[in-house]
A and B are shown apart, each in its own frame.
Chain A
């Protein structure tokens, strides 16, 4: 029963000043077991902040993470599920399901987590799951001036996962959940 936090596209301080306070209030240290971050954290301070939430953090390189030599992709096995992590700015077109599918096949993972669009999306694609946790800070994306802050949380139990998503709408945190099971 591992809790995995997925978030990304923070863009602090270049596009926004900080994570929303409501998110900070619920992201307390010690609650999650891992963090999968899609990138564009931009500064060391945010990375350190994420580290305080959980020391086990995996980050991939986004467009504006230059100072740190993050890898471009990462594969992490949690439970019996393989998670793939990529930022997604090299996926043409951005957030496209087939192109993401290509990446998923290339990395050979069960769940692909990508970002860059700053929009929360999930697709079930050929028995696999494609997840975009959106931007945790609601930073402006390459095509929209403001986005809804969101992130998601995986509760992994061998081949099953419960996915919770948290979105900040009108100052309130809205939560949703869904189930995913890997088919053999």
Chain B
């Protein structure tokens, strides 16, 4: 069995290297990467991926490489798709404009869904009714080519609820508690499902009996009359108590609303029975109801307030609800009439189809019968005496004008009809009736004139309603709670009209100039006159302005930003001493205006970096900021302050510097502090400073949170460093104040971490580096909060097995990124200290533990490189201590990791690093510990190598690879003084249980036997230096090597003819032996025998080995 381990390692290597002839290229020579051409097509035809399964030295039955690759590809693809974590998703999301939904004040907003579409329609019942009348089935009665009639109850309900939930009404202080309760009850009650189908009653109507709808109509009229009578009764001496009156009023209103709801059903029913007269009557009565409902509310002469305030307010409060239902009825009627005339165009009276009318038609293509009917309708409506009725009905049926003028003549429709209707509204003196009528006209007009180029009627409406509003607001009379309600309601209509006008302007006007001119006109209209000083506007204009500002083009706002701010800011200057009911309202409007401006300014300054957007000049920006802040600072209400602050945050951060941001934070902090510590009772001045008396509402918290996150994000994005932020003292205080409960804190922390540390930038410049100790501490606290929260959360956990929950995964990743981002300069000690803190704090997070170990190794390697120039002998006492500390850190931490993977790898890495630093004993102990761990793992799994492979192939192969890697590392280690030079070798050999695996260690043994080892560690004397020429050493090696070869060969011979993977093992073993050492003739024969066993296999490897055997023999 002779063999000789002398191989010409070094010579072979030098030979191999020499045969590679390298030529140095200068910078001017060609190389593929310097030329900017994209060559190398990924889909080159020649490329064929050939997977071979010779990956493991031991058998594997499953786990093909292909599958692995697929898994890799798909796993990463899945990973990518799952990455929908939005760091800001925890918050309320978005800028202040998201809060729009809450700022809407009712009525006006409601009908937007209608714009451009057709109104709600009646029900399929009509079709059936008509169809049945004409004697054919429902299917054929589909005469709606291109006309969609959809029941959009969702929209209606939403609108209605919005109208009913007008915030100010329920928050008003003048309503008593019972009223408020009843109101809210009413609101709940009105969330009903309007019936979606009404089956037409058979048997037809007519005859002498009154149909149900007619009865209801009567009842409605009676109700109106009786209430009017009752009101006049209460003039002289109130028989009933005020509360009773109020209750009565409420129930009356409820009744009214209920009746209206039923009437709207009746309308369609009546129509289906061809009781068109009844239908029209219903509509007319509805319009008159709209008129009479608020008629009694005397808005001018409070001297004769013969009615209870509460009563009036109730009527006011319910008006929008009634309006909504009334609109429903009127729109339905409009649609029904349209359908009827359309039908007349297309069918004869007896049902025969004449021709179909397309979407676009001229008035000639309309049948005479149809246009006759159409004219009759208009005549009928015009015969109504009541102005209000005429306006509403004509607006609702106005679409039918198309039959007379053609479908495309929208300008004509506008001029003839809507302009007139807008002007007719001037004839209504009562502000509420007129405003709502105007709103209806606006709504119908916008819906029916989508393509028209003239929208003058909106101008008329707007100027009229603005005048009405202003007139009311400016009259002293309305400085009362009732006045407030009045203004609120009208403001809703005004808001709607302003916004319609704004939207139309944006959509229609073509040139920027004309747009701007128009907008300027509107602005002038809104801000005109009424202030106590020249150039100042009346505060009521603020209410209008806030709606106007909502939909404007950016460049317009920016052009006039300074003027707008000035106007808004100065509007309330005169009001300061007097506190009237309306002042609060105006202040709210003012803050809204500021907030709107803030939105524009912020988005402009943010997008200025990416696009060429009109920007304010620096001095203009400063002006705007100063003017705004001067006013906003004085706000007593936190709501309003925060409203403005949140929107201005982006503007301030992107356009101004640290000083302004500091001021900003301070003012926010001050306001929050003041809010929290303000007592409701101003007399109790002995306020305990530490205990906050009030709690921030959810909205406040989310607003502040948004602002803070924005700040953090800004500093991360633009500066890449959080230090300046922590120079602001108020920041941390603010955070403490705001997030009082632990859940809030954790939430904020998680979101913040996600924002700052989720993205691991590959680019060094753009990654965040946390250098400031305060910042580090702060972030560490945040991380700790999160990790503790997750640890205690039963739904997520930090365990690695089975993939931790996504929350834990994200948090873990963020924390890891944070640790990576912490930059300590050259201060290794503090870095290591930091790592130990992290290890302690995040003891449950495996990812972090691993990272700490890696970083500790990195510190040790860096010390060696930077301080000692790669030479461990140049270690000073201090650096050596740090290196030792790092290694000790690893030594302690690694065993606490779960699972084998990557524990063993880390052990080996730590051992390498220790060795590099000259810490031989530590390296040895680490290696020994690692090998022990590998052995224990095998023992735990039970069974020897092959069974282990079968049960847990990945782990087993990992252990095996680790041991091989250790074998290579061993070459660097010097021998143990007491236990002999090959102490570790023995240990390794013992660890490898499978005899066929042992042969893999043969190269190591042979390498030891060389004169000089293939590689060395600087500063460490390896065995070739220590034991060169030592006979015992070589003898021992010989023994070990011989034993290995003998066992292996015997084992292979005994195995007999095996197939598949065993062949691979055989070939590998033979190759190993041949490559490692020089074989004697006997050995060669044995090897030849073995080789013959697998002759049938053929293949490149076999041939190569066979050749080698042949040549070695020679």
Residues of A participating in the B interface, judged by any CB pair closer than 8 Å: 1-4, 12-15, 17-18, 21, 26-28, 30-34, 43-49, 54-56, 58-59, 63-64, 66, 68-80, 82, 89-99, 101-102, 105-108, 121-126, 129-130, 140-146, 153, 155, 158, 164-166, 174-179
Segment of B33-41, B284-292, B789-797 in the binding face? B33-41
Quick check: B76 and A130 within 8 Å, CB to CB?
A: no
Question: Assuming the A-B contacts A18-B764, A92-B1000, A105-B1104, are A73 and B1075 also in contact, with contact meaning beta carbons closer than 8 angstroms in the complex?
Answer: no
Quick check: A44 and B79 within 8 Å, CB to CB?
A: yes
Whether a CB of chain A sits under 8 angstroms from the CB of B25 is yes
B12-53 near A? 1/0 per residue, CB < 8 Å: 110011011111110101011110111111101011111110
CB under 8 Å from chain A, chain B span 905-963: 905, 908-909, 912-913, 915-916, 957, 961
Whether a CB of chain A sits under 8 angstroms from the CB of B446 is no
Shortest Cβ distance from A1 into chain B, in angstroms?
7
Quick check: B47 and A14 within 8 Å, CB to CB?
A: no
Quick check: B1101 and A106 within 8 Å, CB to CB?
A: yes
Shortest Cβ distance from B758 into chain A, in angstroms?
12
Question: Which of B24, B51, B964, B1013 touches A175 (beta carbons < 8 Å)?
Answer: B24
Question: Which of B41, B44, B912 touches A142 (beta carbons < 8 Å)?
Answer: B912
Pairs across A and B, CB under 8 Å, 9 listed:
A4-B40, A89-B961, A94-B1015, A95-B1015, A105-B1100, A105-B1101, A106-B1068, A176-B24, A177-B25
Question: Which residue of chain A has its CB nearest to the CB of B25?
Answer: A175
Instruction: Given contacts A59-B72, A93-B1013, A106-B54, list 18 more A-B pairs with CB under 8 A.
Output: A3-B39, A12-B762, A17-B764, A18-B762, A34-B47, A45-B760, A55-B42, A58-B49, A101-B1075, A102-B1075, A106-B1071, A107-B1101, A129-B20, A142-B909, A143-B1017, A164-B25, A176-B23, A176-B24
Question: Which residue of chain B has its CB nearest to the CB of A80?
Answer: B46
Question: Assuming the A-B contacts A34-B40, A123-B20, A155-B32, are A63 and B965 also in contact, with contact meaning beta carbons closer than 8 angstroms in the complex?
Answer: yes
CB neighbours of A45 from chain B (8 A): 760, 762
Whether a CB of chain A sits under 8 angstroms from the CB of B1014 is yes
Shortest Cβ distance from B571 into chain A, in angstroms?
53
Residues of B participating in the A interface, judged by any CB pair closer than 8 Å: 7, 9, 12-13, 16-17, 19-25, 27, 29, 31-34, 36-42, 44, 46-52, 54-56, 65, 68-69, 71-72, 75-76, 79, 760, 762-764, 820, 851, 854-855, 857-858, 861-862, 864-865, 870, 901-902, 905, 908-909, 912-913, 915-916, 957, 961, 964-965, 967-969, 971-972, 1000-1001, 1003-1004, 1007, 1013-1018, 1064, 1067-1068, 1071-1072, 1075-1076, 1099-1101, 1104-1105
Quick check: B39 and A1 within 8 Å, CB to CB?
A: yes
Question: Which residue of chain A has its CB nearest to the CB of B969?
Answer: A142
Question: Which residue of chain A has its CB nearest to the CB of B823?
Answer: A17
Question: Which of B47, B54, B75, B858 touches A78 (beta carbons < 8 Å)?
Answer: B47
Question: Assuming the A-B contacts A74-B65, A143-B972, A146-B870, are A31 and B40 also in contact, with contact meaning beta carbons closer than 8 angstroms in the complex?
Answer: yes
Quick check: B25 and A75 within 8 Å, CB to CB?
A: no
Question: Assuming the A-B contacts A15-B854, A68-B75, A123-B17, are A107 and B54 also in contact, with contact meaning beta carbons closer than 8 angstroms in the complex?
Answer: yes
CB neighbours of B1104 from chain A (8 A): 105, 108, 126
Quick check: B968 and A77 within 8 Å, CB to CB?
A: no
Quick check: A174 and B1018 within 8 Å, CB to CB?
A: no
Give bound CA distance, A136 to B760, whole Å. 20
Quick check: B49 and A77 within 8 Å, CB to CB?
A: yes
Give bound CA distance, A61 to B1007, whole Å. 26
Shortest Cβ distance from A169 into chain B, in angstroms?
11
Question: Which residue of chain B has its CB nearest to the CB of A72?
Answer: B55
Quick check: B1001 and A108 within 8 Å, CB to CB?
A: no
CB neighbours of B1067 from chain A (8 A): 106
Quick check: A73 and B39 within 8 Å, CB to CB?
A: no
CB neighbours of B46 from chain A (8 A): 2, 77-80, 158
Quick check: A145 and B71 within 8 Å, CB to CB?
A: no
Quick check: B68 and A98 within 8 Å, CB to CB?
A: no
Give bound CA distance, A102 to B1072, whole Å. 7
CB neighbours of A144 from chain B (8 A): 870, 916, 1017-1018
Question: Which residue of chain A has its CB nearest to the CB of B904?
Answer: A63
Give bound CA distance, A73 to B965, whole Å. 16
Quick check: B1003 and A177 within 8 Å, CB to CB?
A: no
Q: How many A-B residue pairs have CB under 8 A?
A: 270
Question: Which residue of chain B has its CB nearest to the CB of A63?
Answer: B905
Question: Which of A28, A69, A165 touches B72 (beta carbons < 8 Å)?
Answer: A69
Give bound CA distance, A108 to B1097, whole Å. 14
Question: Which residue of chain B has its CB nearest to the CB of A81?
Answer: B46
Give bound CA distance, A50 to B258, whole Å. 68
CB neighbours of A21 from chain B (8 A): 764
Question: Which of B36, B762, B964, B969 touches A46 (beta carbons < 8 Å)?
Answer: B762
Quick check: B1075 and A166 within 8 Å, CB to CB?
A: no
Question: Which of A28, A55, A105 touches B1105 (beta carbons < 8 Å)?
Answer: A105
Shortest Cβ distance from A102 into chain B, in angstroms?
5
Question: Assuming the A-B contacts A76-B47, A143-B915, are A93 and B16 also in contact, with contact meaning beta carbons closer than 8 angstroms in the complex?
Answer: no
CB neighbours of B41 from chain A (8 A): 2, 33
Quick check: B42 and A77 within 8 Å, CB to CB?
A: no
CB neighbours of A106 from chain B (8 A): 54, 1064, 1067-1068, 1071, 1101
Quick check: A97 and B12 within 8 Å, CB to CB?
A: yes
Question: Assuming the A-B contacts A54-B42, A176-B24, A178-B20, are A75 and B51 also in contact, with contact meaning beta carbons closer than 8 angstroms in the complex?
Answer: yes
Quick check: A96 and B1017 within 8 Å, CB to CB?
A: no
Quick check: A164 and B31 within 8 Å, CB to CB?
A: yes
Question: Which residue of chain A has its CB nearest to the CB of B48?
Answer: A77
Shortest Cβ distance from B1022 into chain A, in angstroms?
10
Question: Assuming the A-B contacts A34-B47, A69-B68, A121-B17, are A175 and B31 also in contact, with contact meaning beta carbons closer than 8 angstroms in the complex?
Answer: yes
Quick check: A31 and B32 within 8 Å, CB to CB?
A: yes
Question: Which of A49, A54, A158, A179 touches B762 (beta carbons < 8 Å)?
Answer: A49
Question: Which of B854, B1072, B1100 touches A108 (beta carbons < 8 Å)?
Answer: B1100
Question: Which of B75, B864, B957, B968 touches A91 (beta carbons < 8 Å)?
Answer: B968
Give bound CA distance, A155 to B484, whole Å. 82
Question: Which residue of chain B has its CB nearest to the CB of A27?
Answer: B33
Question: Which residue of chain B has its CB nearest to the CB of A158?
Answer: B46
CB neighbours of A30 from chain B (8 A): 38, 40
Give bound CA distance, A166 to B202, whole Å. 92
Question: Assuming the A-B contacts A71-B69, A124-B16, are A99 and B1003 also in contact, with contact meaning beta carbons closer than 8 angstroms in the complex?
Answer: yes
Give bound CA distance, A45 to B965, whole Å. 27
Interface centre among B21, B31, B36, B1013 (most CB of A within 10 A): B31
Ranked 7 nearest A-B pairs via Cβ:
A33-B40, A123-B16, A108-B1100, A124-B19, A3-B40, A14-B854, A30-B38
CB neighbours of A123 from chain B (8 A): 13, 16-17, 19-20
Question: Which residue of chain B has its CB nearest to the CB of A62?
Answer: B905
CB neighbours of A140 from chain B (8 A): 858, 861, 865, 913, 916
Give bound CA distance, A96 to B854, whole Å. 27
Give bound CA distance, A15 to B654, whole Å. 36
Give bound CA distance, A140 to B886, whole Å. 16
CB neighbours of A46 from chain B (8 A): 762
CB neighbours of A33 from chain B (8 A): 39-42, 44, 47
Shortest Cβ distance from A154 into chain B, in angstroms?
10
Shortest Cβ distance from A171 into chain B, in angstroms?
13
Quick check: B33 and A166 within 8 Å, CB to CB?
A: yes
Give bound CA distance, A164 to B27, whole Å. 13
Interface centre among B34, B912, B957, B1075 (most CB of A within 10 A): B1075
Question: Which of B17, B905, B968, B1076 touches A64 (beta carbons < 8 Å)?
Answer: B905
Give bound CA distance, A53 to B1099, whole Å. 36
Quick check: A70 and B68 within 8 Å, CB to CB?
A: yes
Question: Which residue of chain B has its CB nearest to the CB of A172?
Answer: B27
